[in-house]
Structure 1
Amino acid sequence: MNTTATGFIKELGYPGNDPKSLLPKNLVDYQNSALADEKQQHFEFKINQHTFDCELLWHANAKQWNINMVNISSRKLEEQKRDSQAQINPDTGLDNHYVFKQVIEQMVDQRLTFTVGQIEIRSYSKLLADNDFETSRKVMKELSDLLQGTCVEKHQNVRLFQLTEKSFGLVFQKSNCHATVKQIVATINNQVKNQLFSGQHSVKLDYGFTSFPSDGKSADEIIRNTRIALENSASQEFTDYMMFSNELGKSVERQNSLQDAMRSAIVDNHFQLFFQPQYSLKEKRIIGAEVLIRWQLNEQWISPSEFIPLAEHSGLILPLGDWILTSVCQKAQHIVAMGFEDIVIAVNISPKQFSAPNFVKMVKRALLSSGLAAKNLELEITEGVLFTKEADTINTLNQLNQMGIKLAIDDFGTGYSSLSYLQVFPVTKLKIDQSFVRNMHLNKADKSIVRSVIELGNELGVTLIAEGVEESEQVDLLTQMGCDEIQGYWLSKPLDESYFSHFLHSNKLLS
């Protein structure tokens, strides 16, 4: 026995100098393993607070065991310190997402009933953009302290984690989880609305919650579904929090499925374009059409009200919008080539597409590749676009106007409804929203709104077109009021390209 072992025996206070006092109690198990495997055994064991790294080897010729023991206590302490640091957020002192998942896994294994929540700062990217990183860290630290006080101190068995730079996690055991969630959210919101973080910043929070075992079978599934609930809460302006449900899960599953199918449909040209004719009340003739997109998937029509918002949210609206504009220009040129030289084809432009840096170039490319004259194209944008980055918007609209492209405001009356911007933006047409037109022959308020829009539009010299015209009474009223154009089922339902061509010829509009 060497002097190090002797000294260590004395340090531990063991009587005598018997080296066997340092051996692990289950040494026989390691010896048996070494004999069975015919190789040396490498293992660790502890004596009090000390950890030893051991190598055990059987010398068959000498018929004796050799054991080499190294005290690695200092190294183990350093490893534990590093592990601890890796599991704790240095700014808030809260356990991080690794521990968050471990805790959930343990509770799942124990088959406990519990609820998991995620809390996230809404518009955190704006907070970062408007301030330096140090300020954002201070905001998170102050919010962490607030959550500690409202969640952990006031509610028993609630454990708080910091998951990312902008989000926190909660885990708690409660039988009536909905009541507890409602109480926790209300408590936090009451505290948050009365506090300015870092001395000047107000904060809006989004919440998502999931319960085990009703909403998932594993930790991964629980965490994923909690995130789904959080993202749905964040997408709804006036929703305090969202509890995950089977219906929500099915909805997200459908959205993901449609999103994947949409990517393929864009590449494979599976979308279809329909034309809804537009009619001049003054000239008594068809003057153009609005192009509407349609999508048939697995022999079922998918409503644009479902897939267009999904395309906006996923970013697919950019390639889809480019495909629509390119296809519209090609089809419009084909119609012009048949002799309808004055036809104007209108296409909706999404806000994201309009604000893309290369939008004007994309429009030029679509016109150039199709050979369509700019005068035959009309771009429809929503009112909201005009009030986003106003200087850039004016520049883009001026470039399009200088090219000879017509510009229309779609769904007028449902947004800002201020005609003053027409003095700044080069808009040539207003589309009166069908929600006002639909009942204008029955409802005095709608009739007054339509009349006011037409009168103001006429004074400012812009063309007025009414959407959703279905009844003869509506046509008569709009004519009397001085409306320029109409579109809707009174004239025609949306038509595919071949039927639209036939419609034009049947109305004897050949120039």
Structure 2
Amino acid sequence: MNKQANVLWWSELATSRIGVVFFGVFLLALLFFVANLADRASRDLVQEVQSLNEREIRNGFVAMSEIQRLNFLLFDARNYEGITLEHREDVQAAVDILFVRADHLKSVYPDPDVFKPSRGVIESLDEIVGLTDAYLTETDADYGAFLTQLIDASDRSRRSLHTYLTTLSRESEEITARQTDALLSKTRFLWVAVAALSLVGLVAISLLRREIVARRAREIAEENERFLAFFDPLTKLPNRVQLQNKLAQYLEGRTKTAVAIVDVDNFKSVNDTYGHAVGDDVLRYIAEILELPAKTLNGFAARLSGDEFAVVLPTDDFAKLSEYCRAVISRAARPHKVGNDTITTGVSIGLATTSQISTSRQVEMSWILRAADFSLYRAKAEGRSCYTFYDNDLAAQLEERNAMLEDLPSAITNGDLKLFLQPKVSLPDRAITGFEALVRWQRNGQLVSPVQFITLAEESGLIIDIDKHMLSEAAKTLADWNKLHGTNFGVSVNLSGTHFANMQVVELVRAAIEKSGITPSLLTLEITESVQLNDWALVQNILCAFRDLGVKISIDDFGAGYSSLAYLRAIAADELKIDRSLVSEIHESEEAAFVLDSVVDLAKNLNMDVIVEGIENEDQARRVFDLGVSKAQGYLFGAPVMAKDALRNATAYQTEKRTAVALR
């Protein structure tokens, strides 16, 4: 481990900018050091050659001096009739020195042809030495002839030596010049090579650094990829994949297991109010709350998506599971400090155990997760910040829910979704001004309320097909009826917020208008006020396209959801439908009347028509009329009925009104 750590440390150092600079400087210093050594060696070689030539020239001049001294001795001896012992010794000493010089030249020039002037010097010196040795060894030698020969030989030797020294000096200068030029050229080449090698080295180091950095980046990316394959990057909890892997192991081992699906209450409100950074911190906080107690029970927590988590515990003990849920809910409800903000949230929990699932079917991962998720749905429906166990009642409801989910696609294609209409009336004369299109499901001989299947359709994505079907059916039915009977009834059709994810809904509405032939101004598109629209810029583009088509926009169920003034201003609708929750207590509570009056004034100031829903008695009708509302809808004026019946009744009512007016 230490060796790997050291290698990692050195590799990180080498790939850092400091490491690259350090190794670059080290490389330059090393190259300069080598270049200096080579330069110094070249200069030393030149100096050595120069020193050798200078030494040989000095030796030549010494030899020249010895020859001059020998000539002096010979001429001095000629002045005498014979050679004296003193002369003999002096000549012998001079010749011995010349012998040494000749021997030295032979060692310097073993092959005289290499430097031809040395041949003449060597031969003349050998001649002098030979004559002297011959004379000194013969007792009856002719002294005069010896002197003449020796003088002639020394003269030849002097001339040869002069030629030798002249040539050697000239060639020494030429050699020195050539070697100096070669040295300069070599030096220039050396420094160019050093510069080139330095550049190549720096480039190589840079490329090496890039390669190491890229390799390290790839390793980090691969590590991140491996991490992201099994863990959530925000909370560091296992993700859905690892949850499924571990849960499969629990189930294969037939371990008694509980699965809890946890949802953060009102998390979108936290994001919208405080921002996504605070929302992320809340998710990390919830993850910690779930994970720590789960580990004490030898379980684990995972993040599924968004604000939804899962907890797997290897137990089906009701008491332990209840204690875990209560502890989590209690801690999640505590105020949580995030920066300067204090956030109070909560969690809802749905639990399912293998023991409970196995009573009705074989335990499968998909079923236990679905059961826990359905339990969560029930917990949220019961008021949030609570937990619900999957039991026999929920099992029956889940079975029915799944059966409805399987039947719903065929209900759309087979025409089992029926168009119902509920009238909208003018309060002063109770004249029917239009209808709201409502859907009912004819299933197994019974009518199913939309409360039972619309949420399911939205969760499954089938709401798109249902809305398309109902929009086309309502537009065609009203257009055909108006054309046939000369009426001018309008119709309101609900659109799910799911449609506002893209511009395709505009083509859906255009197609319905063109196919049915309905007058666009008689078609109103209702957007439920509780629907959360995420991309406001896209929503504005869609609404502008609707207005270009000539249809009207209505905000439905105002007061039942977020009741945001910003929502009203952003939608800029033609109509505001006030939810029955603001009307139910209007005849008993002045506060309720004040709220309703304020909403009506607000809508009028925004140039919206106002329709009050849920009018069930005359007291409510009279009270809202007194508040300035002229249009209403509710069971007082008519319950939702089959489209043909509603239109027939409305047409008959209009005919009766016209007849009564005519009779008067």
TM-score tier, shorter chain, comes to 0.5 to 0.7
1:117-138 CA distance string (max 9 Å, x none):
35668799xx9xx89xxxx9xx
Q: Indicate how the Cα distance of structure 1 residues 98 and 467 shifts in structure 2: closer, same or farther if over 3 A, else same.
A: closer
Q: Which has the larger radius of gyration?
A: 2
Preserved contact between residue 229 and residue 242 of structure 1 (Cα < 8 Å): no
What is the TM-score normalised by the length of structure 1? Answer: 0.67
Name the % identity. 25
Partner of 2:133: none
| In structure 2, C-alpha distance between the alignment counterparts of 1:231 and 1:349, rounded to whole Å | 26
Partner of 1:179: 319
Shift of 1:487: 1.6
1:431 has 2:574 as partner:
no
1:361 has 2:507 as partner:
yes
Q: Indicate how the Cα distance of structure 1 residues 337 and 244 shifts in structure 2: closer, same or farther if over 3 A, else same.
A: same
Shift of 1:332: 1.2
| In structure 2, C-alpha distance between the alignment counterparts of 1:376 and 1:429, rounded to whole Å | 13
Preserved contact between residue 160 and residue 169 of structure 1 (Cα < 8 Å): yes
The 5 Å alignment of 1:404-423 reads 404-419=550-565, 421-423=567-569
Partner of 1:150: 293
| In structure 1, C-alpha distance between the alignment counterparts of 2:394 and 2:327, rounded to whole Å | 25
Partner of 1:101: 248
| In structure 2, C-alpha distance between the alignment counterparts of 1:145 and 1:275, rounded to whole Å | 51
The 5 Å alignment of 1:157-196 reads 158-160=298-300, 170-173=312-315, 177-186=317-326
Partner of 1:10: none
| In structure 1, C-alpha distance between the alignment counterparts of 2:363 and 2:535, rounded to whole Å | 41
Give the CA RMSD over aligned residues.
4.1
Q: Which moved more, 1:184-193 or 1:415-424?
A: 184-193
Structure 2: stretches of 5+ with no match in the other structure: 1-225, 659-664
Shift of 1:381: 0.9
Preserved contact between residue 503 and residue 542 of structure 2 (Cα < 8 Å): no
Question: Between Structure 1 and Structure 2, which shows a larger proportion of helix residues?
Answer: 2
The 5 Å alignment of 1:327-346 reads 327-346=473-492
1:278 has 2:278 as partner:
no
- Of residues 238, 258, 261 in structure 2, which corresponds to 1:116? 258
Preserved contact between residue 210 and residue 243 of structure 1 (Cα < 8 Å): yes
Shift of 1:145: 9.0
Q: Which moved more, 1:247-256 or 1:432-441?
A: 432-441
Q: Indicate how the Cα distance of structure 1 residues 148 and 167 shifts in structure 2: closer, same or farther if over 3 A, else same.
A: closer
Shift of 1:167: 6.5
Q: Indicate how the Cα distance of structure 1 residues 97 and 391 shifts in structure 2: closer, same or farther if over 3 A, else same.
A: closer
The 5 Å alignment of 1:304-453 reads 304-385=450-531, 387-419=533-565, 421-453=567-599
Q: Indicate how the Cα distance of structure 1 residues 458 and 257 shifts in structure 2: closer, same or farther if over 3 A, else same.
A: same
Preserved contact between residue 105 and residue 219 of structure 1 (Cα < 8 Å): no
Shift of 1:420: 5.5
Preserved contact between residue 228 and residue 244 of structure 1 (Cα < 8 Å): no
- Compare relative contact order (CA 8 Å, sep 6+) and give the higher one, 1 or 2: 1
Structure 1: stretches of 5+ with no match in the other structure: 1-84, 109-113
Q: Indicate how the Cα distance of structure 1 residues 310 and 159 shifts in structure 2: closer, same or farther if over 3 A, else same.
A: closer
What is the TM-score normalised by the length of structure 2? Answer: 0.53
1:250 has 2:396 as partner:
yes
1:34-65 CA distance string (max 9 Å, x none):
xxxxxxxxxxxxxxxxxxxxxxxxxxxxxxxx
Partner of 1:298: 444
Letter of the structure 2 residue corresponding to residue 181 of structure 1 = L
Q: Indicate how the Cα distance of structure 1 residues 217 and 362 shifts in structure 2: closer, same or farther if over 3 A, else same.
A: same
| In structure 1, C-alpha distance between the alignment counterparts of 2:244 and 2:570, rounded to whole Å | 51
Question: Between Structure 1 and Structure 2, which shows a larger proportion of strand residues?
Answer: 1
Count, aligned residues: 403
SS in 1 for 2:641: coil
Q: Which moved more, 1:242-251 or 1:366-375?
A: 242-251
- Of residues 220, 223, 226 in structure 1, which corresponds to 2:368? 226
1:361-396 CA distance string (max 9 Å, x none):
100011011111211101111224475322211221
1:467 has 2:607 as partner:
no
